């Protein structure tokens, strides 16, 4: 049985159907060529190839975007997200520094094993005992970790590029 080729109201190829002698609406007896990455569109006289990026996710001028229709990619298209803004990188690094400070204090107070972090109760108990038994030692340790934290935060504030922020290694002497 011969075939005919249906297309949508926009002319895009919709599929192949049996031709029983009466050509259905939105159909032609001219077979389209199916090309990878393209979709055939009937012009009324012939099939043309249109880029098919439908459903693809990416970025247009740095903003998230999903392609809803057929055709070329929009101006400003990129498959990769834009680099984070300097302020966003600095905020992320500051949070990492704060978490590092808290972990350094906990590790210094409770001296956990490498695989098991101390429980909050252990840290609180160690902190209380240390402040009572050796207030100067505790103050010295706190000053050491605070100085490192403050130096890291200053480095983040002084960084003038995202790369400079990423290069700051967050570490504490524990």
Cβ-based burial of 70 (10 A; exposed 0-12, middle 13-18, buried ≥19): middle
pLDDT of residue 112: 54
Q: Residue 86, Cβ neighbours under 10 Å: how many?
A: 15
Q: How confident is the model at residue 23 (pLDDT cuts 50, 70, 90)?
A: confident
- Report pLDDT digits (tens) over 55-81: 999 999 989 999 999 999 999 999 999
End-to-end CA distance of the chain: 81
Mean pLDDT of the chain: 89
Q: What value does the mean pLDDT take over residues 92-100?
A: 95
Phi, psi of 80 (to 5 degrees): -105, 145
């Amino acid at each position: 049985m011969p075939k005919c080729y249906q297309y949508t109201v926009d002319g895009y190829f919709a599929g192949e159907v049996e031709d029983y002698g009466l050509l259905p609406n939105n159909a032609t007896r001219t077979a389209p060529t199916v090309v990878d990455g393209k979709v055939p569109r009937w012009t009324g006289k012939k099939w043309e190839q249109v880029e098919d990026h439908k459903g693809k996710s990416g970025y247009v001028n740095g903003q998230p975007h999903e392609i809803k229709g057929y055709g070329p990619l929009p101006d400003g298209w990129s498959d990769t997200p834009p680099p984070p803004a300097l302020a966003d990188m600095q905020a992320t690094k500051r949070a990492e520094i704060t978490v590092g400070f808290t972990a350094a204090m906990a590790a210094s107070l409770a001296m956990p094993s490498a695989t098991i972090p101390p429980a909050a109760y252990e840290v609180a108990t160690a902190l209380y005992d240390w402040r009572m038994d050796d207030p100067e030692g505790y103050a010295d340790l706190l000053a050491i970790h605070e100085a490192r934290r403050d130096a890291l935060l200053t480095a983040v504030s002084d960084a003038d590029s995202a790369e400079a922020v990423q290069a700051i290694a967050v570490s504490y002497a524990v």
